[in-house]
Amino acid sequence: MDFKDLINQQWTLNTRPDPDVIISNFTYNESPVRAPKKGEVLLKIHYLNLAPVMRMYMMADGGGYSTERILDIGDVIHGRGVAEVMASEHEHYNIGDFVQGQVGWQTYKLSRMTKQEKFRKMTPRKLPIYYGLSALGMTGYSAYCGFVSRGQPKKGDSVLVSGAAGGVGSLVIQIAKAMGCSRVIGIAGGQEKCAIVKRLGADAVIDYKTEKVEKRIEDLLPEGLDVYFDNVGGEILEASLMHLKKGARIVLCGAISEYARKEPFSLKNYGLVRQKGADLRGFFVYNHPHMYEEAETKIAHWIREGQLEALMDIEEGFKNVPQSLIGLYTGTNIGKRIVKVSEGPEINY
């Protein structure tokens, strides 16, 4: 392979969000690509994952979310991607393998495939490789592992899902129906998103932009909810706690409403969890690697059976990555937002 004509494009951290993410937080760089040394592989990145939590990694204190991934000024922006092994001096990886893992915002990466990078070889399933960043990747694992392990759904359960038009929430809606939950309600923002969530199988959808969420939960779930899968936190979490059945399970998967607050939201009615004998359960996908294979197998089956659709928002072009991330905080995405950064046709694997 001739490396002399390969150029790696990167986005690095220029300044920190204060509090919003803006274009000037990023710097664009280019550098030559070299051949891998012994124990390394050269990865060509085809798709990059975008997630609201990336703002936390850019903040000096991790935004109260994580101290492991805090970026220094000048660091390549942290993020997962789907990549192809273009050259290998590593005994466990061959040219043509596809992997998903921590590649960062760049078009090529030399890697020793360390445990810290959380790479996972993709299983050939004759599906587009971008599924590795949605239903067959961490998004799908978050939906399945979070709902199954922490929500512990049973047939006949009533389920409420916030962020229901997002990557994780849209999958939870469909997984709940596939697992026999009898009443599945989504919460989304705007008529277009609500219509999509309804099409995906929700029995009803609450538009938080135009409706009073707490009143609508009461109307739609008069006997209360068994599982609340929370992707947003804040006021919607507080509203959901007003309508718990005894023994309900609340899964804290995401908190996008918190990311731009200067002061954390104060949950005033958490005492209802005690009164109802409910469980408020945190979920972090990296704590559940033992479930990834199960999640991927089940979700791939549901996709092939037509029971599940991976809702994706695919942007084009590496230079558009920062603006695509910024759009997440204003809700411009429908489904899981990823960016295609390589040129050429869609690749199935």
pLDDT tops 90 at residue 47: yes
Is the distance from CB of 273 to CB of 242 less than 8 angstroms? no
pLDDT tops 90 at residue 257: no
- The answer on 142 and 128 residing in a single domain is no
Taking only Cα atoms into account, the Rg of the chain, rounded to an integer number of angstroms, comes to 21
Residue 323 lies inside a defined structural domain of this protein? yes
**The CATH number of the domain where 96 resides is what?**
3.90.180.10
pLDDT tops 90 at residue 283: yes
Residue 243 lies inside a defined structural domain of this protein? yes
| Whole-angstrom distance, CA of residue 162 vs CA of residue 252 | 11
- The answer on 324 and 256 residing in a single domain is no
For the ranges 115-119, 268-272, 297-301, 331-335, which has the lowest average pLDDT?
A: 331-335
| pLDDT tens string 174-215 | 999 999 999 999 999 999 999 999 999 999 999 999 999 999
Residue among 66, 77, 69, 63 nearest 15 (CA): 77
Higher-scoring residue by pLDDT: 67, 92: 92
How far CA 74 is from CA of 7, 205, 340, 347, in Å, comes to 19, 43, 23, 32
- State the chain's mean pLDDT as an integer: 94
- The answer on 85 and 185 residing in a single domain is no
Q: Please state whether the peptide bond connecting residue 17 to the residue before it is cis, i.e. omega within 30 degrees of 0.
A: no
Residue 192 lies inside a defined structural domain of this protein? yes
- The answer on 218 and 95 residing in a single domain is no
Is the distance from CB of 226 to CB of 206 less than 8 angstroms? no
The pLDDT score that the predictor gives to residue 334 is: 87
Sign of CA dihedral 173, 121, 110, 342: negative
pLDDT tops 80 at residue 275: yes
The stretch 239-244 carries a mean pLDDT of 98
| Whole-angstrom distance, CA of residue 94 vs CA of residue 86 | 8
Q: Answer left, alpha or beta for residue 113, where phi above 0 means left and psi between -120 and 50 means alpha.
A: left
DSSP summary character for residue 192: H
pLDDT tops 70 at residue 63: no
* pLDDT interval class at 137 (50, 70, 90): very high
Residue 329 lies inside a defined structural domain of this protein? yes
Show the tokens assigned to 301.
Answer: 């089956």
Domain count, the chain: 2
* pLDDT interval class at 58 (50, 70, 90): very high
The stretch 7-24 carries a mean pLDDT of 96
- The answer on 93 and 14 residing in a single domain is yes
| Whole-angstrom distance, CA of residue 79 vs CA of residue 81 | 7
Residue 260 lies inside a defined structural domain of this protein? yes
Range of the domain at 331: 7-134+312-340
- The answer on 144 and 123 residing in a single domain is no
Residue 297 lies inside a defined structural domain of this protein? no
Show the tokens assigned to 281.
Answer: 């359960």
Is the distance from CB of 176 to CB of 161 less than 8 angstroms? yes
Residue 174 lies inside a defined structural domain of this protein? yes
- The answer on 149 and 114 residing in a single domain is no
- The answer on 169 and 103 residing in a single domain is no
Chain centroid offset of residue 66 CA:
16
| Whole-angstrom distance, CA of residue 180 vs CA of residue 292 | 21
The pLDDT score that the predictor gives to residue 66 is: 59
Amino acid 126 reads: K
How far CA 203 is from CA of 180, 230, 346, in Å, comes to 13, 18, 34
Residue among 48, 59, 38 nearest 9 (CA): 48
Residue 106 lies inside a defined structural domain of this protein? yes
The pLDDT score that the predictor gives to residue 87 is: 97
Higher-scoring residue by pLDDT: 136, 1: 136
**The CATH number of the domain where 156 resides is what?**
3.40.50.720
The pLDDT score that the predictor gives to residue 263 is: 83
The stretch 91-112 carries a mean pLDDT of 97
Residue among 81, 90, 82 nearest 36 (CA): 90
- The answer on 210 and 179 residing in a single domain is yes
Residue among 39, 41, 69 nearest 56 (CA): 69
For the ranges 65-74, 89-98, 237-246, 326-335, which has the lowest average pLDDT?
A: 65-74
* pLDDT interval class at 245 (50, 70, 90): very high
The pLDDT score that the predictor gives to residue 64 is: 64
- In total, the chain counts a number of residues equal to 349
pLDDT tops 80 at residue 259: no
DSSP summary character for residue 253: -
pLDDT tops 80 at residue 315: yes
pTM attached to this predicted model: 0.86
- The answer on 234 and 325 residing in a single domain is no
- The answer on 152 and 23 residing in a single domain is no
- The answer on 282 and 145 residing in a single domain is yes
